Structures are given as structure tokens and as C-alpha cells.
Amino acid sequence: MKVYKHKIHYYETDKMGVTHHSNYIRWMEEARVYFLDSIGWSYKKLEDNGIISPVTEVECKYVASTTFDDEISIEVSIADIKSVKISIDYVMKNQDDKVVCKGRSSHCFLNAKGSFISIQKLYPDFYKALEDSMDN
């Protein structure tokens, strides 16, 4: 499991001073990019290798509010991986270690033409890096 940290910006809050709900989805993406970088497969490297990984599903359960200047730690872990798709879990905690949000995103793997690809067959090093991260 990898942990990404995000400090809440003023512009991410609404008129009530509470973090707008849409930001949590963006933070999931930030954490996912960080996670892929940490296993040696940045989004740039994926795209340079012709791999596209669009979101196919996203869910987000809000547990507690956050506000400006809170620091959020986002724990990223692989929930499930198949040769053509992946699901990633996110647990967001505030600076007091209180869970504020839980989420999951699912993605498929496509080539530049938009056809499904098996990363297990075509990119075994990437697949292994994902599998190995499940043990951490």
C-alpha cells in the first residue's frame, strides 16, 4: 500500500468552508498517479508504451467532512487485477488519522486504437509490478 498526501487548498472548499465533494475523486486520481510512479510505471510511461487506462467506474463514500488546510493521507491499494482491468481502493484520512472517505476506481487497459489489451501478456513487467504491490 502506498500513501499519498494532499493539503486541502482554499479553492477546494465551498461557501460553507467544507471541501467540495468533487475534489475527492480528483484526489483519487492524484493518488493513483503517485502510486503508478512509485512502482515505476508512470502515466507517461504507460502512454509511451501505447497503454491507455480509462476509468470505467468510480465510487466514493464520504465518512467525515474536511476543510481548508487539512492534510489528507490517501492509502492506495490494488483491490483486484485481471489482465484487462484493475480496481484500486483508496482510504482517505485526516491529520488526526480519522477516515474521512473511502473510494474505489475501476479501469480497463486499451491500446491507442481503443481495443482491449492484456497487460499480463503484452506488458508482463507492468503486470508483475502491480501484482507485487499487492503484497506491500
| pLDDT at residue 2 in the model | 79
Q: What is the pTM of this model?
A: 0.93
| pLDDT at residue 105 in the model | 98
pLDDT at 1 over 80: no
Using CA atoms, how far apart are residues 33 and 113, in angstroms rounded to an integer?
22
What is the three-class DSSP state of 47?
Answer: helix
pLDDT at 44 over 80: yes
Distances in Å between the Cα of 28 and the Cα atoms of 76, 102, 119 are: 8, 10, 22
Residue pLDDT, tens place only, 109-126: 999 999 999 999 999 999
pLDDT at 101 over 80: yes
- Counting residues of the chain whose pLDDT is more than 90, the rounded percentage is 93
Q: How many domains does the chain have?
A: 1
**CATH code of the domain covering residue 30:** 3.10.129.10
Burial class from Cβ neighbours inside 10 Å (0-12, 13-18, 19+) for residue 40 reads exposed
Confidence band, pLDDT 50/70/90 cuts, at residue 103: very high
Residue pLDDT, tens place only, 3-28: 999 999 999 999 899 999 999 999 99
Return the higher-pLDDT residue of 136 and 15. 15
Q: Provide the domain limits for residue 56.
A: 2-133
